[in-house]
Structure 1
Amino acid sequence: MLTQLYIQNIAVIERASIDFGEGFHVFTGETGAGKSILIGAIGAVLGFRVSRDLIRTGAEKAMVTALFERLSDETCSALSALGYEPEEDGTLLLSREFSAEGKSSCKIGGRPATVSILREVADTLINIHGQHDNQALISPERHIRFIDSYAGDGELLAQYRQEYAKLCSIKQELEKLNMDEVEKAYRIDLLTYQIDEISSANLKAGEEEELLEQKKQISNSAKIIEAVGQADLAFSGDDENEGLVAMLDSARDALSTAGRYYADLEGMASRVDEMYYELREYASDLRRCASEMDFNEGDLDAIEARLDTIYKLKRKYGASVEAVLDYLGKSTQELQSINRSEEMQAKLEAQLAQTAYSAQKLAEALSEKRREAAKRLTEAVGEELRFLDMPFVRLEVKSEIGALSADGIDDMEFLISTNPGEPLKSLSKIASGGELSRVMLSLKNVLADRDRVGTLIFDEVDTGVSGRAAQKVGLKLKQASHGRQIICVTHLAQVAAYADRHYLIEKSVRDGRTFTDVRPLDRSGRVSEIARIIGGNEVTDTILSSADEMLRFAERQVDK
């Protein structure tokens, strides 16, 4: 259950803190006051996509936090699976902060989280049903989702989809094998040529780098020999000049002699002695390296030719020797597959038949479960609709069997007749806006019994409804709040009258800036607000009296 919502710098809401409780909550206010902004803020903390335009003008960042109590077992399980846990007092705090630069950060219980993790947890806490949900009712291809939800066939549907995906994969493999003979012969010739061309080159991983190093050495052999000679001369000297080794030998002898008489020089003599032997070793290594050098400029042509071969292969088959070798491996495997195509085809066709049979059986089981659920669902929704002032409504599901698809073999659509003697027709062709709203509310009410989410939010789900039907919608929402928390944004006085808690969203201008405030109303405030909804700008004593009577009537209805 949502117990507190804190909003900062969301559109025209600079700062708002809203406390919630049990039962039925309504938000009302003038058009444009910010009711949709409130729903957007709740959606943000639930992990929905957020636009930068949602951040208040002039603010660098915005923030929304939501505190929940009485967490369900599903929420606790989801938290545990994701590595989170509630506070010691059983509460859970979700928060989301986002900046004008598009950066976003989420937290669950004070710990960092991703948007997807936040959304996964939030799905067990709140369901938001907005006006756009009615679009699902006029899209027949989406009707099967409602039936699946009521049937509780998620596990069976997942099994079927896994088998169907396997079936599609096998079909794709078969399509690759079932190429015509001309294409097959062409592919065999091409692969054979490519394999022979690469194989005959006898490429080795790292070969190109070694050849380039050899080429660099041979091309610069004169410079290398000259430099090595100069270094050797510096180390060992010649007939005219004493080398570093000899000079350091003289220095160490002198320091050794002096050290016998002057103790401070003993350490220096020891270090110079070490330097002497190390330098002599360097000189010896240099002479050995020079003796092993073998720069044959005749090898340069062979190296250039080899590099040219590698370059041509790379241009055709990959950006490196390793990539060319990888291409060779894949081509060899493909050629082997084509040569074994008849054997593989027979094997795949056997797998295809077995998988198709399994998928068909799962689809049939899923279809049977859906048809049974569809009958129960339409009966339950019909009862709800009759309560919502649609006494002659008939709701059925047209079900047709087709080929296997990602959703099974069923093509299902809700059909409705709202008046006696009228035939059943598609919802999109016969239902008005108000009727669609009532059908959606009825569906949500029936499906809510299958869903343990503790909080349901309805964003103007009563659009297009008026009069006695609106009163019935309010009563139905009130009844639905028994055992769960209902939050509703409404523009109908009849709905607002049934609320346990009523909040006013109002906009004002201060110092040239627009501000939206959210405040709870006491009974007197509720009477004034309901009167405003009824009468608009002209609120008379008669309208106030009517508003008070509307509240009293709602209270009496609830007490029955």
Structure 2
Amino acid sequence: MKGLVTIMLCELYIENLAVIEKTSIQLGTGLNVFTGETGAGKSIVIDAINVVLGQRTSKEIVRYNTSKATITAIFTDISKSAFEKLKEYGYEQDYLDEQQLLITREISADQKSVARIMGKPVTVAILREIGTELINIHGQHDNQVLLAPERHIDILDKYGDYTSLLEQYHACFKQVVLIKREMKKISVNEQEKAQRIDLLTYQIDEISSASLKSGEDVKLEAKQNEIKNKTKIIEGLQAAYQALSGLDDEGGAVELCQTATQSFEEITEVYEPANVIYTKLEGLSAELEEVAADIANQLDEFDFNQNTIDAIETRLDEIHKLKRKYGDSIDEILSYAEECKQELESLELSDQRLAELSKQGTIEYQRLLELANEITKQREIASKRFIQSVTSELQFLDMPNVSLEVKQDHVKPNAKGQDAIEFLISTNKGEPPKPIAKIASGGELSRIMLAIKNTLADKDEIQTLIFDEIDTGVSGRAAQKIGLKLSQAAKNRQVIAVTHSAQIAALGDHHFLIQKESRDDRTFTDVTKLDYNGRIHEVARIMSTDKITDLMLKNAEEMIIRK
């Protein structure tokens, strides 16, 4: 990269865009002119460039009965600002490898859009950003900028040499806005403030008095489940023990077994078979006593405390109530409490903070006014030079009696300073300057805009300029002057002009003819680069009202040679 060099759109490939089936346009340095009969589709070329640079479009631009439109643009000699934009999005190495920038965009019939830079996908938003560093397109709608006084300040600021001052002002203005916003937030109604303090204090106290610990609820719930399981075990052991040992007013299995054993013992002497049953009952009675004793020992091992259960349930109930108010977990509750403390502290210290902000705001606003005053002075200086430059350009463009004035009114400081700027103009000698919208015709607007663009030319790194029918509303001598200005601008940059003026077409370094014809019930638009003879015939055609005569051809050739 070697600083500022020429940006050039060297090739434009269009396929299935509106009435263009397929064409490749090889553009050159200097002045490239496009001409053609009315309705031939001259604007389609400009539309294609807009599309490939990321402008909004619709599926209607896709050629009928085709699936998609494709536009590819190839640029060489990228400027430093364009390269920095490529670098920002990671495309700089691809450009350095190829020494040219390839941009492609496809629009499907279903309105889907695909864009690529150097073959890699890119969003349309990024493409649009990069596109603004490559080409400056001036169409008829751009004249509307002149009819909107609020846009005039941007034109003057672009011309002026106080960019750094504007940047300082914008930063200061942003700071003032932020301070005012914070002060407004703090300066709430005193009654609302008191109510808010009471609520925050209550919520903080309620959460603080609970002495919550992170994860406490999880541990308590686990303990609760454990106790529930113990309760179930104890109930089973108690039932088994009671079945064996009995209750206070009735005996259990042990006592009944002992009674049965005694009954058999009494009859063993008189009933021999009773000995076998007696022996079994005696052993069973001993085993039941042993089992009952084991159960009693197990019951003694369980430390069952109802108070512990009650305490756990009470604590969990307290935590669940807090969860319903302040969060789904203890951590969220504690976090909410911390936010409340910070807000409470802010409210309690708001008077102090408000005083600090007021002091800071006064300092920043004073600095803002100082910067605004300096910008006002710089705009006054720039206005004088701007008027001289634009007036000189307009006089050359066949507006010799033009008088330009920059109206500068003082307003309340805003994002652009403390000035309201409006360009006033008079096109007739002796008439006082008035707003452009009330004075200028369509042709005059085109020349005023061209004069302004020429005045701003040295302030702009963009070296490829496109003018879409800037000669609208002018002819003859005025058109000749516009052509000379375009040719002059093309000495150190690439200029592309769509025109219906023979005077401008004759001054072109490269001339392209846009023609529309019908074949097989379809409409086709072709773009052809004209040779010398082709240029003569096309310039003569533009001049003619009926048919091309030898005299017209001779005049056309003289116009081209005179270039």
Q: In structure 2, what is the equivalent of residue 69 of structure 1?
A: 76
Asked if structure 1 preserves the Cα contact closer than 8 Å seen for 2:82 and 2:130, the reply is yes
- The change in CA–CA distance for 1:19 and 1:212 in structure 2 (over 3 A counts) is farther
Alpha-carbon distance, 1:210 to partner? 7.2
Unaligned runs of 5+ in 2: 1-7, 235-301
Tell me the residue number matched to 1:489: 498
**In the TM superposition, what is the alpha-carbon distance from 1:56 to its structure 2 partner?**
2.7
Q: Are the structure 2 counterparts of residues 324 and 398 from structure 1 closer, same or farther at C-alpha, using a change threshold of 3 Å?
A: farther
The alignment status of 1:513 with 2:522, answered yes or no, reads yes
**What's the C-alpha RMSD, in Å, of the aligned pairs?**
3.3
**How many angstroms apart in 2 are the aligned matches of 1:453 and 1:293?**
88
Q: What letter corresponds to residue 151 of structure 2 in structure 1?
A: R
Residue type of the partner of 1:149?
K
| CA pair 208-494 structure 1, distance change in 2 beyond 3 A | farther
- Offset at residue 512 of structure 1 (A): 3.2
User: Residues of 2 paired with 1:292 and 1:383: CA distance?
Assistant: 106
Secondary structure in structure 2 of the residue aligned to 1:164: helix
- 1:20 deviates by 0.6
Residue identity matched to 2:55: F
Measured at CA, do residues 218 and 378 of structure 1 come closer, stay the same or move farther in structure 2, by a change above 3 Å? farther
**Aligned partner (choices 142, 146, 168) of residue 137 of structure 1:** 146
1:546 partner letter: M
Mapped contact 1:29–1:505 kept (Cα < 8 A): yes
**TM-score normalised by L of structure 1:** 0.78
1:177 aligns with 2:153: no
Which residue does the alignment assign to 1:418?
427
Of the three residues 553, 558, 561, the one matched with 1:552 is 558
Equivalent position of 1:43 in the other structure: 50
Taking the aligned partners of 1:35 and 1:395, their CA distance within structure 2 comes to: 34
Gap change, CA 1:156 and 1:47, over 3 Å in 2: farther
Shift of 1:48: 2.1
1:313 and 2:313 equivalent?
no
Matched, 1:3 2:10: yes
**Alignment-mate amino acid for residue 41 of structure 2:** G
Task: Provide Cα deviations, 1:115-168, integer angstroms capped at 9, x if missing partner.
Answer: 344334333321111111111101111001111111143332222111111111
Letter in 1 for 2:421: M
Measured in 2, the distance between the counterparts of 1:218 and 1:527 equals 106
Tell me which structure has the larger Cα radius of gyration. Answer: 2
**Alignment map for 1:132-211 (pairs within 5 Å):** 132-200=141-209
Q: Check whether the contact 1:417–1:425 (CA below 8 A) recurs between aligned residues.
A: yes
Q: Indicate yes or no: 2:408 matched with 1:399.
A: yes
Q: What pairs up with 1:316-331 in 2 under 5 angstroms?
A: 324-331=333-340
1:472 aligned counterpart, secondary structure: helix
Q: Is the 8 A contact 2:517 2:524 kept in 1?
A: yes
Count of paired positions: 486
Residue of 351, 357, 363 corresponding to 1:342: 351
Q: Which moved more, 1:525-534 or 1:59-68?
A: 525-534
Amino acid corresponding to residue 33 of structure 2 in structure 1:
V
Change (3 A) 1:293 1:408: farther
Name the % identity: 48
- Once the 2 structures are TM-superposed, how far is the Cα of residue 532 of structure 1 from its aligned partner? 3.7
Identify which range, 192-201 or 213-222, moves more after superposition: 213-222
Q: Give the equivalent residue in structure 2 for 1:359.
A: 368
CA–CA distance in structure 2, aligned partners of residues 34 and 9 of structure 1: 13
Residues 297-340 of structure 1, C-alpha deviations (whole Å, 9 max, x = no match): 878965873575145315xxx67665554443333212111111
C-alpha deviation, 1:173, in angstroms: 1.2
Runs of 5+ consecutive residues of structure 1 not aligned to the other structure: 226-290
What TM-score results when the alignment is normalised by the length of structure 2?
A: 0.77
CA drift of 1:446 comes to: 1.3
In the alignment, does 2:66 pair up with 1:59? yes
User: Which string of whole-angstrom CA distances, capped at 9 and with x for unpartnered residues, describes residues 211-235 of structure 1?
Assistant: 888889999999999xxxxxxxxxx
- 2-structure distance, mates of 1:198, 1:209: 18
The answer to whether the 8 A contact 1:6-1:65 is kept is: yes
Separation in 1, partners of 2:431, 2:66: 56
1:519 offset after TM fit, Å? 1.2
**In the alignment, what sits opposite 1:17?**
24
2:123 to 114, 133, 137: 114
1:150–1:416 Cα change, 3 Å: same
Note closer, same or farther for the CA distance 1:321–1:140 as it changes in structure 2 (3 Å cut): farther
Aligned pair in 2 of structure 1 residues 478, 337: CA closer, same or farther (>3 Å)? same
Deviation at 1:99, TM superposition (A): 3.1
Q: State the 1:398 CA deviation.
A: 0.6
Q: Distance in 1 between matches of 2:26 and 2:304?
A: 86
1:38–1:181 distance in 2 versus 1, CA, 3 Å:
same
Task: Give, in whole Å, the separation in 2 of the partners of 1:25 and 1:214.
Answer: 87
